[in-house]
Structures are given as structure tokens and as C-alpha cells.
Amino acid sequence: MSRKDYSFFQSVEDYFDKAASSTNLPSGLLKQIKACNAVYQMRFPVKMGNDYHVIEAYRVQHSHHRLPTKGGIRYAMSVNQDEVMALAALMSYKCAIVDVPFGGAKGGVKINPKEYTPRQLQKITRRYTTELIRKNFIGPGIDVPAPDYGTGSREMAWILDTYQTFKNGEIDAAGCVTGKPVNQSGIQGRTEATGRGVFYGLKQCLSYADDMKKLGLTTGTEGKTMAIQGLGNVGYHTASISQKEGGVNLISVSEYEGAIYNKDGIDIDALMKHRKETGSIMDFPGSKNLKHRDLVLEVDCDILVPAALEQVIHGGNAKNVKAKIIAEAANGPITPDAEAILLDKGILILPDMYINAGGVTVSYFEWLKNLSHMRFGRMEKRFDSNAYSNLVDLVERTTGKQVLKKERLLLTKGADEVDLVRSGLEETMITSYGQIRDIWKRNKKVNDVRSAAFVSAIKKIGNDYVSLGIFP
């Protein structure tokens, strides 16, 4: 089946059904977990010069089992109701998997942001936010948007400002949106969070010797070959952190204009510089150009990272994929029929709802920061630092030896906000993978990581519905 024949929401439901059959939950409860609770479709006019553009936009709240609901806002021409519903559903499962206490939501505005000036984009964003306020679809305890494909911290700042204009005096207003600029109630480490989460998740997966043996791989990230589709926020940070902190050998990269390959490795920072100077990743010194950008998906590598849009690996190209592990940094990059082919080939797929959950995890930290009205680390940084210092003094006194100045600095450092964010994110990715892997290894009916992730999510959401007293 080619990707056009697949409803994205239907694919998510197919994956859900496959996994749900290995839980013992009653069918009524499963139906409730699966359903989209609220779909808000809007059209609003925005004056552009002498003309009016009527913009089509959505906000979908998939599940109200926990509030607020949470999920990004996408600006793209591909936006339609089916896509936003699918992405909102994935958010519910994603939040459950990483124990972020939110329901799932997603927004979409059907525009090509490259065709508008920043001023026009601001107008569209403010109007969209106003529509959300009007229908009570935004608020720190209601529904909290964030960046997604085509949006970033700039748009989030506009959303916050619009919200505050209407909700003057609301003390927790800053928590109405996450992914904001750090100087506007954002949090350190949010921009890189999804990519960093992908790296931590991969590192954890690669640490299990028996799983790696089955794939013919050694443990650890060092020297593993990687191909990445898409150098947006998620793709770029995944590449950069995997290369710098994990020693990964990045051999192939694709972007809108094409794909390149170099078996000896592509220096991601040098490539970004080249793209800035020439406007393209093509003809990067030392690398060869691939014939077509989608060939990045078919490169022989250890780890393939689709980090662009959904349904890029489908029935038509799945058989050509040669990677041993696929990390779904994008949401929904593999259609169910493609997945069957890939699993048959013995490929390990780390599903979107786990591997790209770093973004929403750090969004949760940002929201908590907004509600506490204080940055992380402010209370304990100096206290910890002094305590460590006393300890080092004691060691020095009792041993009669002095540690080096460099070592003292390292040993006595109190945690800054970014240290705590990274630590919380790493802890989340490790713990969640443990839970998923446990289901994958112990439940005889579960044969792949995506189904295990779904089972983990379904059970947690199911428990929430039961404790709410909605289901017996």
C-alpha cells in the first residue's frame, strides 16, 4: 500500500488494536481510551495586504483522562483533521509512557510558514490563540500547546502574550504554553529536548547485550553508523548530541533539497555551516550526493532516524530498508504494513511514542517551573555545593592529600537548571524503556517494542479511568 491510501489516524488505531489484544482490559474501556474526545475545527480570516486569507486550523484533545491536555501545534500544508487526530492520540500514549500526567492533544494550522513574513505569522498565531481562548481550548489547567513541525519558541511567545492579554491577572498564565523562549518563562534545555531524548533512549536500548546480539551489534553507541532524515530541530539535535556525546558515526543525512553520504562520517556542525553558506546540504566536501533524498532511508547503517514527517516508510519502500534499528524521532514515520515488513526482517523499531517523548517530558518540567514560579536549582544549588565542598575538605584533611583545582570544581558543583533538566530527562528515558522492555520480554503475546509501548500506555490510561470511577 502506498502512503496515500493510509489514514494516519487509522494507522494509530491499527497499532492500538494490535497491542490491545494482549491486554485484559474490557472492550468498553479500550474503546474509550482509543476515541478522540474533542475536535475543534476552525476557519478564520486574516488580512494580508489588501487580501483576506481564510485559514483552516484545528485543535484536537484526544484524551481527558488527565488534565491539562498537552501537545504541539504544527504549521504545515499537510495539516488536516485526520493528521491532527492521529498526532493527538499519539500524545496521549506518549505522555502515559513517560509518566507525564497529561492527556494528549495536538493543533494544526494549514499554512506553509515559509510563504508568510514574521509579521503575518504573528497575526495568524495570535488569531489562532484567540480562537482557542474563545472556546476554552487553552489554559494551564485545560490544554497546553507547544512547538511542533513549523513552529518554535517565537510562536510560543506570541501565544503566551495573547493569552495574557485576555487573562490579565491569571497567576499561572505562563503555564498556558510550553517551549517558550528561556527569557519568557521558558526552561533551559527545552529546544534540544526531543533530540537529547532520542539519544538517551538509543543509548539505553543499545545497553542490553542480548538484544544487541540478536541484531549482530555490540553494546554502546560509540562507532555505530547512523542515517538521519531531516535536519529540523529534532534531527539536528539528535545528530549533534549522538555525534558529540555518543561517538556515533553519522554517515548519511537528508533534507528538503536532497541527501548526502560519507562512510567516514559527516561532521554535523560543518554541514550546518555549509548549508548556511550555500543554502543546501548538497555537494558537502568529502560526501557524495545521493540520487534522491528518500534514499537516506535505504542506507546500510546500524541506526536509521526518520526525523521529518509521518508515513515516510511505507509498503513501497520498507523492503529496501537496511538499518538494524529505527528510532522514530518523527511522529508516525512508519505505516503498519511497512512495519510488518520491517519486523519480518528483524529490525528493532523504537516507536515515536517512546523515543521522541523527550520534548513533552521537558515541557512538563517547564510547566512545573511556571506553576512554581521559580527556576529549578535555585534553592539547593549553593547548599549542595557547600556540602560537597565540606566533604572534599574532610577527605583532604584525613588523607593529607589535596585534590586538583579542576577536580574540586567538578566535585563541588551544585546543579543548575539545565543539569537538572538533563538528569530528569535521562532518568525518564531509562525508566520508561525499562517498563516497555519488561512487557516486551515477559508478555508472550507482545513481539515488538511498539506493541509493548502501547500496552504500557493503555494500562496506565486504563488505570486512570478506573480510579476516576468512570469504569469499574
Active-site annotation, residues: 106
The Cα–Cα gap between 348 and 327 comes to 9
Tell me: does residue 189 bind ligand GLU (CB under 6 A).
no
- The minimum distance between CB 178 and ligand GLU, in angstroms, equals 5
Stretch binding ligand GLU (CB under 6 A), from 52-60, 133-141, 354-362, 393-401: 354-362
Select 92 or 356, whichever has its Cβ closest to ligand GLU: 356
HSE toward the beta carbon, residue 78, CA cutoff 13 A: 15
Contact (Cβ atoms closer than 8 angstroms) between residue 132 and residue 58 = no
24 burial class (0-12, 13-18, 19+ CB within 10 angstroms)? exposed
Residue 31's contacts (CB-CB under 8 Å, 6 or more residues apart) are none
- The minimum distance between CB 59 and ligand GLU, in angstroms, equals 13
Select 150 or 258, whichever has its Cβ closest to ligand GLU: 150
Stretch binding ligand GLU (CB under 6 A), from 69-77, 261-269, 281-289, 381-389: 69-77
Stretch binding ligand GLU (CB under 6 A), from 70-78, 180-188, 251-259, 419-427: 70-78
Cβ-based neighbour number of residue 77 at 10 Å: 12
Select 97 or 205, whichever has its Cβ closest to ligand GLU: 97
Tell me: does residue 18 bind ligand GLU (CB under 6 A).
no
Beta strands 225-229 and 303-306 are: parallel
Select 87 or 318, whichever has its Cβ closest to ligand GLU: 87
Stretch binding ligand GLU (CB under 6 A), from 8-16, 64-72, 312-320, 385-393: 64-72
The Cα–Cα gap between 277 and 290 comes to 20
Stretch binding ligand GLU (CB under 6 A), from 197-205, 211-219, 352-360, 380-388: 352-360
Q: What is the total count of residues that contact ligand GLU (CB under 6 A)?
A: 12
> Mapping DSSP to helix (H, G, I), strand (E, B) and coil, where does residue 180 land?
coil
Tell me: does residue 148 bind ligand GLU (CB under 6 A).
yes
The Cα–Cα gap between 251 and 440 comes to 30
Question: Judged by CB under 6 A, which of 59, 62, 70, 127 binds ligand GLU?
Answer: 70
The Cα–Cα gap between 66 and 468 comes to 10
C-alpha triplet 190, 195, 196: angle, nearest 5°: 75
> Mapping DSSP to helix (H, G, I), strand (E, B) and coil, where does residue 56 land?
strand
- The minimum distance between CB 362 and ligand GLU, in angstroms, equals 7
> From start to end of 62-171, where are the E strands?
69-75, 103-109, 143-147
Question: Judged by CB under 6 A, which of 92, 178, 188, 370 binds ligand GLU?
Answer: 178
Residue 101 preceded by cis peptide, ω within 30: no
Give the DSSP H/E element, type plus range, for residue 288: strand 288-289
Residue 76 backbone dihedrals phi, psi, to 5 degrees: -165, 155
The Cα–Cα gap between 305 and 293 comes to 14
- The minimum distance between CB 94 and ligand GLU, in angstroms, equals 6
Select 144 or 341, whichever has its Cβ closest to ligand GLU: 144
Select 13 or 148, whichever has its Cβ closest to ligand GLU: 148
Tell me: does residue 72 bind ligand GLU (CB under 6 A).
yes
Question: Judged by CB under 6 A, which of 363, 370, 428, 432 binds ligand GLU?
Answer: 363
Enumerate binding residues for ligand GLU (CB under 6 A). 70-72, 94, 146, 148, 178, 331, 356, 359-360, 363
